[in-house]
Chains A and B, each alone.
Chain A
């Protein structure tokens, strides 16, 4: 199994700049600047079939192609490292092990897009990752991979780190742009889309850490090779899966995209922890509807997961055992979203706290027969919110209603949580 992203030194520490270069680091950048046009780089990414690793799975090359190249003024690239949803920690692990690959990936992307100033938006609390990045940027600059006239190619790039002040909504790309501009991170009206009018009104691409970290391998080994790393012919590349919950090994693994769910849990995760049996899991971060045993064989790739009624999302898998109350788990997730709502639009601001209150009521045994329908109505209505936060919040609630309605109703009929002591 080939790993291209997660590489640590033999002591398990962060890879040094020298170690990264010795293992072929920055060769892709050399190759690109030496003989590829920016368009060649973009084409390679399009050919590779790389899809965004931040959650939405939008084809990366296509996103780049939306950037108009003929507008006056600068263009910007922002690396989204605002990883804040429960159960997702892959970007932290990646940056704690190998920050250099992100820098090389960003340099390649900036070359492809004609960007001379890029930002890394780092989540509050990821101090180690930010420190690693600072060191890595310093080393890359010293070695001539950043700064002006990189490798004599005439291409220049300044890379800056912005430490977020902390807010889940910053992960939404237009909210992130507002945060970078020093104001409240409310999402912006779209259109105009950031690719046309983003940071300081200029064309801007926002890509996830993992997405950008895949670019060097695509350029170094070619899109076909990279695509072939996946477990199925339809999938492309590898994926970071970060696991938590009731399994033996709660770690972040780099696996071929399209590896079946059961294989991940029984394989690298080492199965369930002693005394636990699998009840359900969140397959791709806090906004994705649950998977149960029936989804054991689903290939963990964007389209198959969507077909099975959920989303691959970030690849953050939280595994629940038989003692987990799904109402309480859903309540916990909904509380997260209610707290993180920026307060901008009506459905999200007013609807999420109401859902929290309703789920609290049910969990406390005070639910009524009409509550499941009220929940269902909100799942529908909250899809019409301003941004994707509220629809995302509805993932688990929708999953609860679809897969665990009996458990939900049991709370109501018994007048208590069946898992309570």
Chain B
């Protein structure tokens, strides 16, 4: 993935964006690369940022938004500090993936696609992560969590989240 860095201030982030734009010579073809980087940098794609990028890549703002809203990978809203994705692909589905999602929704009290009110956690689903050999499974931040039964898997997700939250480590 794109080299991940912790930019401390808005100015740092801004400089980093300027640098990546220069690196791609402000070419409109680089839009997806630039959006990847922006999301790494900001956690999501804020509105003003997309407007600025459009201007710098000489693209109509509508087109930039059209691209950002097309791909699964781009987020137009920030998500929780920790994020759990449940796979509901067919291999997971027949082994209880859909039930796992319902169980996690119940345990965390939020629906799929939502973020906890305190911004600590968000939950969504995906239709196949390409790790069908480990089905059923969930991904917490960058870690794949798999288990034989749904209850065991839900327990593991909760436990893992508790550990991550207590160390205060952001993904």
Contact = CB atoms under 8 A, between A and B. Distances in A.
Direct contact of A and B (CB under 8 A): yes
Interface of A: 83-89, 92-93, 123-127, 130-131, 162-167, 179, 181-185, 200, 242-246, 250-252, 282, 286, 316, 318, 320, 324, 328-329, 332-333, 335-336, 339-340, 342
Contacts of A127: 1, 142
Nearest to A122: B1
B67 A124 contact: no
B133 A244 contact: yes
Contacts of A123: 130
A85 B2 contact: no
Contacts of B67: 182-184
A85 B90 CA distance: 9
Contacts of B70: 165, 167, 184-185, 342
7 contacts: A84-B128, A86-B90, A124-B73, A166-B73, A182-B31, A245-B95, A246-B95
B140 to A, nearest CB: 14
B71 A87 contact: no
A339 B130 contact: no
A282 B89 CA distance: 13
B127 A250 contact: no
A126 B66 contact: no
Given A124-B72, A318-B90, A329-B93, A250 B30 contact: no
B71 A166 contact: yes
Given A165-B73, A282-B90, A332-B90, A83 B66 contact: no
B1 A130 contact: yes
Contact of B94 (A126, A167, A246, A251): A246
Given A166-B72, A250-B132, A179 B89 contact: no
Contact of A336 (B90, B95, B142): B90
A318 B31 contact: no
B91 interface: yes
Given A185-B70, A244-B135, A318-B91, A125 B28 contact: no
B75 to A, nearest CB: 11
A318 B94 CA distance: 9
B29 interface: yes
A244 B92 CA distance: 9
Nearest to B24: A182
A320 B94 contact: yes
A109 B32 CA distance: 27
B71 A86 contact: no
A181 B63 CA distance: 13
A250 B1 CA distance: 27
Interface string B12-40: 00000000000000001111110110000
Q: How large is the interface on B (under 10, 10 to 19, 20 to 34, 35 or more residues)?
A: 35 or more
Interface string B85-100: 0001111011100100
A165 B133 contact: no
B94 A86 contact: no
B18 to A, nearest CB: 19
B161 interface: no
B74 interface: yes
B130 A340 contact: no
B131 interface: yes
B130 A165 contact: no
B135 A250 contact: yes
A167 B130 contact: no
Nearest to A320: B94
Interface in B57-72: 63, 66-67, 70-72
A200 B29 CA distance: 10
B129 interface: yes
Contact of B132 (A86, A339, A342): A86
Interface hub of B70, B127, B130 (most chain A Cβ within 10 A) = B130
B166 to A, nearest CB: 26
B31 A332 contact: no
Contacts of A251: 133
B1 to A, nearest CB: 5
Interface in B100-144: 127-135, 142
Given A85-B128, A165-B74, A183 B31 contact: yes
Given A165-B73, A166-B72, A332-B88, A89 B127 contact: no
Contact of A163 (B1, B66, B94, B95): B1
Nearest to B29: A182
Given A179-B32, A242-B132, 13 more contacts: A83-B130, A87-B91, A87-B128, A92-B131, A93-B133, A164-B71, A167-B70, A185-B71, A246-B94, A250-B135, A332-B88, A336-B89, A336-B127
A92 B130 contact: yes
A243 B133 contact: yes
A125 B126 CA distance: 11
